[in-house]
Chain A
Amino acid sequence: MATGHEHGRLALAGGGSIAMPQRGWRAAGAGRGYALPLALAALLLVLTVVPVLTVIVSSFRPSGLPLSDGWTLAHFAKVWSAASTYRLVADTLIFAAGSTAFGIALAAILAWLVERTDMPGRDLFRAGILMPMATPPLLLAIGWVLLMSPSIGIIPSLLGALFGEGAKAIGIYNLPGMIFVQGLAYVPTSFLMLAPAMRNMDPVYEEAARTAGAAFGQTLRRVSFPFLVPALLSVTTLLMIVGMLTFDVPAVIGQRGNVNVMSSEIFNLMNPANGLPAYGEIAALNSSLFVLLAVGLYVYYRATQQSERFATISGKGYKAARFRLGRWRPVAAGFVALYFALAVVLPFLALLWTSLVPYFAGFQTKLLAQLSLKSYATLLGDPRLWEGVVNSTVIATAAAVATTALALFVAWTIVRSRLRWVRILDAMSMIPISVPFLMMGVALVFIFFGLRAIPIYGTVWIIALGHLIVFLPLAARMMQTGVLQVHHELEEAASVSGATFLENIRRVVVPLLQPTIFALLIWLVVHSLREFSVAVMLVSRKNEVLSTILYSLWDQGEPGQAAAIAVMLMLVLGGLVAVLTWLTRAGRER
């Protein structure tokens, strides 16, 4: 009973002495503290606002570097007076819009089949939906290039055998090819965003429409579809932003087919054949793009707010009536199986085959006798690979832990603080959503290339920092969902019981959020291990990671070794994704 009592007595007798040693009497207790929100605001400012500002400032500097002198519009003038820029923007838009449309359409059909019909095997599908996370766009693209290589690829050969030599001409080194692969890569994200919207739709609205005389098609169009609009809008915005500057598919497919998009143009400008990169033009391209994306972010923010409003309308505790597919059930199951074949199985088999054959020559039965583990042996004897393994592991671990911790504090503060301005933390943590990965990589180069006081340029830490920033928006959102599910009285009960803020976090908040924290950690490790667009901007000889080693082997004409890394990476990622699936299912059953 000691302290509070004594202090209170002191305060009574002493008149004017403050009972607790604290700065400002409002500083105590959850929900009213200033210190944590202020510290987080400062940190988020540095992590999310400063990089964007750096790129924008750089685009107005004559030298193209942020800390140099003078102002100019010359970079914008140069970039936008070139006819090739418009061509570039047009191709980028076609690529982004095409892959977004293809990915969402595919995901919407899958989500509807899984959530609203009696398709056989839908539980199996739900368990496996995270699996494509193990085939990141880079591997997917390489896998599809192997499958589709002109004349020797498995698919052209097959088509040739079936439909004659003419059919062999089908190629992948073009925009439709890029759109197809990128679209496949978008399906898991789109599915995860659309499925809840379909699942949570209260069938009473549809039943009401049916009893009001609407036919099945009319019901879908006039009642069901409007409910999905917010979710569709937010996933569309998100994927469009990603598509505007993703580099995996353009690097593997676009570069060979001479289809240039913004990301490959920026990459080429950053890696000139000789001399220094044209920083000013790079910054000007990025800044111009950012204006487009800021609009996108605004739409996304509005759309997600909208979808939350819709979510509150629908109640709980009902079982959605499932649409009976009847004799279409096998067709539906076949469609889903085809998706898995295209997104996971075929690319994996192509990579596996390539990693085992002595030279790349498509699929030929005569090669069966020559299968060997030579590519693996060469790789495993190469110290470069082991450095990559260590670097990737360090980066993934550091980025996952740091991002999770930051997301936890940001989410907790946003949900629990009563200060009105904490909403700005939410907005700030979402900024990286509107910054393409490649651009964030460029921004970090701009900042740390000149900033010798923090010597992380060229080390693994700059890549870890990049991953922290680009994965923060999703991590913060996941954590917010988790914190919202913890009833505030559970924390208040701990405070009243005598727990300090840190004891409360350690003994109550963290244990209750354990499933979310574990799932987030694994999600982050997986995405850091497979990440390519940020890393490719930040690598030098000393901090190579697996994805960049893989790409450089591929680029240098070592498909066997590249495929061997890809196969090993897919197996590791697949194992992690299996754990993640098991964790999220276990969490749901609690």
Chain B
Amino acid sequence: MLLADRLRKEFALDDGRIVTAMDGVSFRIAPGRLYTLLGPSGCGKTTTLRSIAGLETPDRGLIAIGDAVVFDSVRRILVPANRRKIGMVFQSYAIWPHMDVYENVAFPLRVAGERLRESDVAARVAKALATVRMEGFERRPATRLSGGQQQRLALARALVMEPRVLLLDEPLSNLDAKLRESMRLELRRIQKALGITTVYVTHDQTEALAMSDVVAVMEQGRIVQEGDPRSIYLRPATRFVAEFIGSTNFIAGKIMRASGAEALVEIEGGTLRCALPNGLAAGARVLVSIRPEDVTLRAAAAAAANQGGPNRIRGRIVEQIFLGSLADHVVAAAGAELRAWCHPSSAFVPGTEVVIEVDPARCVLLPEKA
């Protein structure tokens, strides 16, 4: 279990300006879960992670690992990083170049309060290296490892003390695309097998969606939405989340009527039926978010108004880009340019009049401001 409560941290820049890196960050991570802090650079995700590690000191708030409070600004508790019993993998891996693989992994054991016998050290190092599939590399100098091997070594070093919490700071960002994909699976496999509570920091939405139990999207020092990957993608709560995760189209409009779970939204040149979220009522100005993969294009002649079926809007093809696995269309409709990802077999040439079909359940309403 990991608890962060109302963490706040301000930095003074060299020119005197104040930046709020964490602006009331709170979350609770259930044991064994992989919790991802996702956001663009400067959103405060790394500061949050480093605060958990004890490498940054928040101005205010409370952090508890397991049932031990490691930071509490009110009671003035600050457990230094070296006594927090955590494992951490750094973005640069921070493999010590003056030690070989074995000594890198053995380091946490050697600086531990209790002295271990060399045979115990060897056994625990072997176990950690086996976990990351690095057996046989013990005496390899750290400077002669590939990026992927350094990554595994950093993980072994983080795990050797069997910490309560594992912290991962963009661990895959320095790997090439192919390796990143396989390491993603492997990291998740090891995390699940050990059942270790993990905090994962990344700016890569694919990584976040693929690996996490829970994703927290951060913006300007705040967690703006928290949920499992599916709900974050399918039901973004704000314009920022919808834009940051995946691609999307926005259509500005105003709620005309709200009845039950559905709202009728007035947009330029027509209306859209949309799923009605909490907190929005008739009269509210809104943005309708529609993912490009949820858009179906039909030839104008085939379309006819149908009350019960999908939304239909008239549009005209502006551009078509063939991408192999899909055909990306830009369509002028409802006063905007909308993207539509269609099956590669569909080929509407620019200038063609079309009808855009979208399932009302796939039209996500967002407040215009926020």
Contact = CB atoms under 8 A, between A and B. Distances in A.
Interface of A: 1-5, 7-9, 11-12, 15-16, 18-20, 22, 25-26, 28-29, 32, 420, 487, 489-490, 492-500, 503, 507-508, 511-512, 514
Question: 9 shortest A-B CB distances, which residue pairs?
Answer: A8-B68, A493-B94, A497-B108, A489-B94, A28-B80, A4-B83, A495-B81, A25-B76, A489-B90
Given A15-B75, A511-B98, A512-B98, A20 B83 contact: yes
Contact of B113 (A3, A29, A497): A3
A490 B94 contact: yes
Contacts of A493: 88, 90, 94, 96, 154, 157
Given A19-B77, A25-B78, A498-B161, A12 B67 contact: yes
B330 interface: no
B167 to A, nearest CB: 8
Given A489-B94, A496-B53, A26 B78 contact: yes
B97 interface: yes
16 contacts: A9-B67, A11-B75, A18-B76, A18-B77, A19-B77, A20-B83, A26-B78, A28-B54, A29-B55, A32-B57, A490-B94, A492-B90, A493-B96, A495-B54, A496-B53, A503-B111
Given A496-B86, A507-B110, 18 more contacts: A4-B83, A12-B64, A12-B68, A18-B75, A19-B77, A25-B76, A28-B80, A29-B54, A29-B81, A490-B94, A492-B81, A493-B94, A495-B55, A497-B82, A497-B107, A498-B85, A498-B111, A498-B113
B112 interface: yes
Nearest to B75: A16
A182 B90 CA distance: 51
B91 interface: yes
A487 B75 contact: no
B79 interface: yes
B57 A26 contact: yes
Q: Which of B12, B55, B70 has the largest count of A CB atoms less than 10 A from its CB?
A: B55
B97 A5 contact: no
Contacts of A503: 111
Q: Which of B77, B82, B111, B167 has the largest count of A CB atoms less than 10 A from its CB?
A: B82
B92 interface: yes
B77 A4 contact: no
Contacts of A19: 69-70, 77-79
A16 B74 CA distance: 9
| Tier of interface size on chain B | 35 or more
A19 B69 CA distance: 9
Nearest to A12: B69
Interface in B80-133: 80-88, 90-94, 96-98, 107-108, 110-114
Interface in B18-76: 53-55, 57, 64-70, 72, 75-76
B92 A487 contact: yes
Nearest to B97: A512
Contacts of B86: 496
Contacts of A495: 54-55, 80-82
Contacts of B80: 20, 28-29, 495
Contacts of A500: 82, 111
Contacts of B77: 8, 11, 18-19, 25
A493 B96 CA distance: 9
Interface string B274-312: 000000000000000000000000000000000000000
A507 B53 CA distance: 20
B82 A7 contact: no
Contact of B107 (A3, A492, A507): A507
A512 B96 CA distance: 8
A15 B76 CA distance: 11
Contacts of B157: 493, 497
Contact of B69 (A2, A8, A498): A8
Contacts of B110: 507
B52 to A, nearest CB: 10
A6 to B, nearest CB: 8
Given A4-B79, A5-B66, A497-B157, A492 B55 contact: yes
A489 B85 CA distance: 17
A20 B79 contact: yes
Contacts of A494: 96, 107, 111
B128 to A, nearest CB: 12
A497 B92 contact: no
A25 B76 CA distance: 6
Q: Which of B96, B97, B161, B164 has the largest count of A CB atoms less than 10 A from its CB?
A: B96
Contacts of B83: 3-4, 7, 20, 498
Contacts of A511: 98
A517 to B, nearest CB: 13
Nearest to B169: A489
Contacts of B72: 11
B95 to A, nearest CB: 8
B97 to A, nearest CB: 7
A503 B107 CA distance: 11
B111 A499 contact: yes
Given A28-B78, A32-B57, A499-B82, A8 B94 contact: no
A500 B154 CA distance: 20
A20 B78 contact: yes
B112 A498 contact: yes
A4 B84 contact: yes
Nearest to B66: A5
Contact of A508 (B66, B82, B88, B96): B96
B66 to A, nearest CB: 7
Contacts of B97: 512
Contact of A5 (B68, B81, B87): B68
A230 to B, nearest CB: 20
Nearest to A492: B55
